[in-house]
Amino acid sequence: MKQEPSYIIASIYVDLSRPISRYSSYRDTDYAKQILKSQLTSLAIQFASNHSLDGIDEFMGRFHFELPPEPPTDYAREAEEDAAMLITDYFMDEIIDQIIDQGEASADINNDYGNGDSIFHEVIVDRSYSQTDAAELLSQLYNYTEGDSGLWKEETDVDRIAEIQAAFTYGNAVWAELDDLITDINNEVDDIKINAAYEVLMENTDNKELSDYDEMTDDEVIDMAETDFSDEYEEKLRAALKNVIKSICE
């Protein structure tokens, strides 16, 4: 008895590298395409002749529609994005204040930022994970695995232990990414300061006086801008720092 072919569509595309029939496999995609083309052509001719969808419905009834599994979450990428989000959405103003007051920003969110510890735990660490997600996260972020068993010493459920370890492991990954971003920001501070200082001085002096700055060191130029035009300099510095920080976090 002749068997009718049965086709598979993955997502919205015909996956011609997979068996095109329950009973025959066509690894030659060109041959498989010709088989489909001939049947589609036949259906088109039938429809043009009788304007009936019966043949098309019967043909479609032999298709199996399958959605491919969703790819696993890229937790390393998410950690990068969350670290950047913390800086731009929660700690931007404090980072700028620290740079202006101390010359650099701190990466110690827990101790050097107002409510930093609470924000970090509420936004980053306090997330729930399924058993499958926890296992995937721990597999991807093994370099940041949380090893402090005291965090789950009261737990006896294996799934709950995995969830807690995954949550703190993800926190470790975000913390490491945030530390790298703060380092990148601090590395730009000197250039930002001198550029802001020159901009202020150029706006407030004539061309003859500008030549005097060529013989001055960067620190001397910055000191002059801070001393003579403090408000304007700080305004420009804050704006420049904000733009650079946003750029680094993109």
Domain coordinates in residue numbering, the chain: 7-66, 75-249
From start to end of 15-173, where are the E strands? 63-66
User: How far from chain centre, in Å, is Cα 199?
Assistant: 34
Mean pLDDT for the stretch of residues 227-238? 92
Pick the residue with more confidence: 56 or 12? 56
CB neighbour burial string for 79-106, b if at least 16 within 10 angstroms, e if fewer: bbebbbebbbebbbebbbebbbeeebbb
Mean pLDDT for the stretch of residues 200-207? 79
- Of all helices (H) and strands (E), which one includes residue 14? strand 13-14
Taking the C-alpha atoms of residue 226 and residue 229, their distance in angstroms, rounded to an integer, is 6
Q: How confident is the model at residue 111 (pLDDT cuts 50, 70, 90)?
A: very high
Mean pLDDT for the stretch of residues 171-180? 97
CA distances from 84 to 54, 94, 174, 209, 249 (A): 56, 15, 9, 42, 5
pLDDT in tens, 24-54: 444 445 666 676 677 778 878 888 888 888 8
Say yes or no to pLDDT of 132 above 60: yes
